[in-house]
Amino acid sequence: MLKELNQQRRAKEFTDLKIIVEGKEFEVHQNVLASCSLYFKDLIKRSPRDSSRSGEKLELAMSNLTADVLELLLEFVYTGSLIIDSANAKTLLEAASKFQFHTFCKVCVSFLEKQLTASNCLGILAMAEAMQCTELYNMAKAYALQIFPEVANQEEILNISKDDFISYMSNDSLNTKAEELVYETVIKWIKKDAAIRAQYAAELLAVVRLPFIHPSYLLNVVDNEELIKSSEACRDLVNEAKRYHMLPHARQEMQTPRTRPRLSAGVAEVIVLVGGRQMIGMNQRALTAVTCLNPQNNKWYPLASLPFYDREFFSVVSAGDNIYLSGGMESGVTLADVWCYMSLLDNWNLVSRMTVPRCRHNSLVYDGKIYTIGGVGVAGNVDHVESYLKRDHAQLWPGFHAFGWCGGGYISGPK
């Protein structure tokens, strides 16, 4: 049927709609065009009907597309075939999207997905976003994020808008093994038009995960960059990264979007299980096993076992990249030991002792210090708090008072 209708269109027989574009006339069938395009369906319905009643063809004059593009659109509508190449794909998709030729859009999207390269993916991404073409947008975005090292070497990335650049560079899924490359790309983008872009230096530098840049690079390269030296806000960001490196025990209180590792960094927040009890027949025994779960891949991994046996009722807290274990009871003896699991070395070390042995207590990290709260001691309930700073000995803070039982606590008094 479409073949016959197309022959009628070419012969201008039985057509009832004339579209005029760039002075060229295209005669088509209203029903055929309306069945393929919601835009034209609505336009035809809203057009005056006088001409149809008098036997005259409905005329539509359009100025928002070219004659060549309309010819290709109509050819596809009537034949299902389309000549599409890298030169006209974007133009055809824009027209198909604008005039709501949905099947035509799918053909263009399928073609463009196969044409994605490091030199054009950001441009296609921006176009897909502007046209609200979700399928192409998601494909181009995933592709651009995955091949960031190649994209970073293209001229295209230096010419995209500030908002698009920030959206791209700040993404957690940006695939880079070295955050230094992200920093270098930001500096290159600014220097491409420094007279205008330098005012955004701090906003742009904030998308770089500076705490994951090597300290020597921070000191020798970043610190000496004139764009950084001339901006107080930029220097604050660099100093924040330096503090992150210098105070690993306080990292838990330094959490910002910049301290969150990218997914490609091989670093992830994990859930760690320390110790516990295991049933053996009718008896129980304390476990020394330490394991962690990576929620990103849902896999469990073994860590260094506890360096002691049959200990229970201890308290565990994470501080930065390390885990601190304090107190507990072993063979009926209440203990004051403080042990540290160092994630980089995967081992446990005895680092200090509390001033008061305790078990069944709670621990927390605040302002760079580890606090042990309440619990049970040798003489009964413990009614005070101790704090431990990684580079100091355990110390009692008499200004704090805690009232608790078996780990629960209520704290009052000055900081």
Distance (Å, rounded) from C-alpha 364 to C-alpha 372? 7
Q: Which residue has the higher pLDDT, 391 or 347?
A: 347
Nearest residue to 133 via CA among 101, 88, 173, 180? 101
DSSP state letter for 37: -
CA distances, 351 to each of 21, 128, 141, 162, 345 (Å): 81, 56, 47, 48, 15
- Does 413 have pLDDT greater than 70? no
- Does 359 have pLDDT greater than 90? yes
In a domain, 396, yes or no: no
The predicted pLDDT at position 97 comes to 84
- Does 85 have pLDDT greater than 90? no
In a domain, 366, yes or no: yes
- Does 410 have pLDDT greater than 70? no
Domain boundary among 81, 97, 115: 115
**In a shared domain, residues 253 and 317:** no
**In a shared domain, residues 174 and 244:** yes
**In a shared domain, residues 308 and 200:** no
Weakest-pLDDT range from 73-77, 222-226, 334-338, 352-356: 73-77
- Band the pLDDT of 54: cuts 50, 70, 90: low
In a domain, 126, yes or no: no
What pairs with residue 61 in β-bridges? 20
Half-sphere exposure of 259 toward its Cβ, with a 13 Å CA cutoff? 18
- Identify the CATH number of the domain in which residue 166 sits: 1.25.40.420
**In a shared domain, residues 111 and 187:** no
- Does 400 have pLDDT greater than 70? no
Mean pLDDT of 383-404: 54
Q: Tell me the per-residue pLDDT of 112-133, one tens digit each, with 9 for 90 and over.
A: 888 899 999 999 999 888 888 8
The predicted pLDDT at position 407 comes to 40
Contact criterion met (CB below 8 Å) for 152 and 181: yes
Angle, CA 320 vertex, CA 315 and CA 323 arms, to 5°: 30
**In a shared domain, residues 22 and 67:** yes
Q: Tell me the per-residue pLDDT of 295-347, one tens digit each, with 9 for 90 and over.
A: 877 889 999 999 998 899 999 999 877 899 999 999 899 999 999 998 867 88
Q: How many domains does the chain have?
A: 3
In a domain, 297, yes or no: yes
Distance (Å, rounded) from C-alpha 310 to C-alpha 284? 10
In a domain, 145, yes or no: no
DSSP state letter for 359: B
Domain boundary among 267, 297, 332: 267
Nearest residue to 171 via CA among 203, 200, 207? 207
- Identify the CATH number of the domain in which residue 40 sits: 3.30.710.10
Domain boundary among 214, 249, 267: 267
Mean pLDDT of 3-24: 81
Q: pLDDT exceeding 90 applies to what percent of the chain?
A: 44
Q: Under 8 Å CB-to-CB from 279, ≥6 apart: which residues?
A: none
Mean pLDDT of 346-367: 90
CB < 8 Å & 24+ apart, contacts of 108-113: 108/84, 109/133, 109/135, 109/136, 109/139, 111/84, 112/136, 113/139, 113/140
With H, G, I as helix, E, B as strand and everything else as coil, classify residue 221.
helix
In a domain, 5, yes or no: yes
Q: Which residue has the higher pLDDT, 145 or 25?
A: 145
Contact criterion met (CB below 8 Å) for 73 and 88: no
Spell 363-381 as b/e; 16+ CB within 10 A means b. Answer: bbbeebbbbbbbbbbeeee
Q: pLDDT exceeding 70 applies to what percent of the chain?
A: 91
Q: Tell me the per-residue pLDDT of 184-204, one tens digit each, with 9 for 90 and over.
A: 999 999 999 999 999 999 999
Distance of CA 141 to the CA centre of its chain: 12
Nearest residue to 78 via CA among 171, 22, 10? 10
**In a shared domain, residues 93 and 32:** yes
Q: Which domain holds residue 213?
A: 161-267
With H, G, I as helix, E, B as strand and everything else as coil, classify residue 349.
strand
The predicted pLDDT at position 403 comes to 40
Torsion of CA 179, 185, 190, 193, to 10 degrees: 180
How many residues are there in the chain?
415
Q: Tell me the per-residue pLDDT of 89-120, one tens digit each, with 9 for 90 and over.
A: 888 888 888 888 888 888 888 888 888 999 99
Nearest residue to 223 via CA among 252, 245, 192, 250? 245
**In a shared domain, residues 327 and 339:** yes
**In a shared domain, residues 279 and 328:** yes
In a domain, 48, yes or no: yes
Mean pLDDT of 371-394: 80
| E strands in 198-354 | 271-274, 277-280, 283-286, 290-294, 299-303, 311-312, 315-319, 322-326, 329-330, 333-334, 337-342, 347-353
Q: What is the DSSP string of 366-414?
A: ETTEEEEE--EETTEE---EEEE-TTS--EE-TT-EEE-STT--EEES-
Residue carrying the six token digits 């919601």: 38
DSSP state letter for 27: E
The predicted pLDDT at position 245 comes to 87
- Does 63 have pLDDT greater than 70? yes
pTM: 0.60
Contact criterion met (CB below 8 Å) for 4 and 50: no
DSSP state letter for 230: T
- Does 396 have pLDDT greater than 60? no
In a domain, 385, yes or no: yes
**In a shared domain, residues 250 and 167:** yes
- Does 136 have pLDDT greater than 80? yes
Q: How much is the mean pLDDT over the chain?
A: 85
- Band the pLDDT of 176: cuts 50, 70, 90: very high
- Identify the CATH number of the domain in which residue 356 sits: 2.120.10.80
